[in-house]
Amino acid sequence: MVDPSLSVDGGFGFLSDLIGIQMRNMEAIRQAQQKMLEGIGVLAKRQTEIIEGIMRRSVAEPTAVTSPDIRSVVSHQIESLKTTILENQANSNILSEMTARNSGEVANILQSRMMAALDEFKAAVDHAIPDKPSVGGFVAPAAVQPTSRS
Amino acid sequence: MSISSGYRFVRHTAMALLVVAAGWYGGGAWAADPLGPFPVDSAQVSVSGISSGAFMANQLHIAHSAGIVGAGLIAGGLYGCTVDSVSEDGVFALASLAVGPCMSVPTLLRPVDFYAQLTADLAAKGWIDPPSNLARSRVYVFTGQADKVVNSKTVELGTSLYRTLGVPGSHVKFRDQDLPGAGAGHSWVTENFGNACDANAKPFINDCRYDQAKELLQTIYGPLQPPAVQPAGRIVAFDQTEFAPGKAAAANGLLDTGYLYVPKVCEPGAAEPCRLHVALHGCLQSAEVLRDEFYTKIGVNEWADTNRIVVLYPQAHATSVAELSSQDFLSLFDTNLQGCWNWWGYAGDKQFLTKRGVQVGAIWSMVQRVTGQGN
Is the pLDDT at B363 greater than 50? The verdict is yes
pLDDT, tens digit, 9 for 90 and up, residues B127-179: 999 999 999 999 999 999 999 999 999 999 999 999 999 999 999 999 876 66
Interface test with A, best of B81, B91, B96, B324 (most A CBs within 10 A): B96
How many Å apart are CA A96 and CA B96, to the nearest integer?
9
Q: Are A98 and B94 an interchain contact pair (Cβ–Cβ within 8 Å)?
A: yes
B331 shares contact with chain A (CB less than 8 Å): no
Q: Which of B212, B260, B280 is nearest to B53 (CA)?
A: B280
Q: Are A105 and B330 an interchain contact pair (Cβ–Cβ within 8 Å)?
A: yes
* Residue B304 contacts residue B310 (beta carbons within 8 Å): yes
What number of residues does chain B have? 375
* Residue A108 contacts residue B329 (beta carbons within 8 Å): yes
pLDDT of residue A77: 86
Q: Which helix (H) or strand (E) holds B138?
A: strand B138-142
How many Å apart are CA B319 and CA B333, to the nearest integer?
11
Residues within 8 A of A (CB atoms), B 97-116 only: 97, 99-101, 104-105, 107-108
Active site includes B186? yes
Residues within 8 A of B (CB atoms), A 24-43 only: 42
Percent of chain A with pLDDT over 70: 77
Mean pLDDT, residues B335-362: 97
Is the pLDDT at B180 greater than 80? The verdict is no
Q: Which of B9-13, B83-87, B161-165 has the lowest mean pLDDT?
A: B9-13
Q: Which helix (H) or strand (E) holds B84?
A: strand B83-87
Closest residue in chain A to residue B82, using alpha carbons only: A94
A91 shares contact with chain B (CB less than 8 Å): yes
pLDDT of residue A145: 45
pLDDT of residue A74: 87
Distance from the A46 Cα atom to the nearest Cα atom in chain B, whole angstroms: 9
pLDDT of residue B24: 43
pLDDT, tens digit, 9 for 90 and up, residues B252-294: 999 999 999 999 999 999 989 999 999 999 999 999 999 999 9
φ, ψ of residue B49 in degrees (nearest 5): -175, 165
Closest Cβ opposite residue B95 in set A86, A87, A97: A97
Is the pLDDT at A91 greater than 80? The verdict is yes
Give me chain B's average pLDDT, please: 91
Mean pLDDT, residues A119-138: 76
Active site includes B129? no
Mean pLDDT, residues A9-19: 82
Q: Which residues of B touch A105 (CB under 8 A)?
A: 330
Structure pTM?
A: 0.84
Q: Which residues of B touch A98 (CB under 8 A)?
A: 84, 94
- Reply yes or no: is the peptide bond before residue B168 cis, omega within 30 of 0: no
B329 shares contact with chain A (CB less than 8 Å): yes
Mean pLDDT, residues B338-353: 96
Sheet of B195-196: strand order equals B188-190, B205-207, B195-196
Q: Which residues of B touch A108 (CB under 8 A)?
A: 328-330
pLDDT, tens digit, 9 for 90 and up, residues A92-109: 999 999 999 999 999 999
What does the CA dihedral A31, A36, A39, A45 come to, rounded to 10 degrees?
-120
* Residue B186 contacts residue B200 (beta carbons within 8 Å): yes
Mean pLDDT, residues A34-60: 86
* Residue B173 contacts residue B163 (beta carbons within 8 Å): no
pLDDT of residue A122: 93
Active site includes B121? no
Q: Which residues of B touch A81 (CB under 8 A)?
A: none
B92 shares contact with chain A (CB less than 8 Å): yes
Indicate whether this complex's ipTM tops 0.95. no
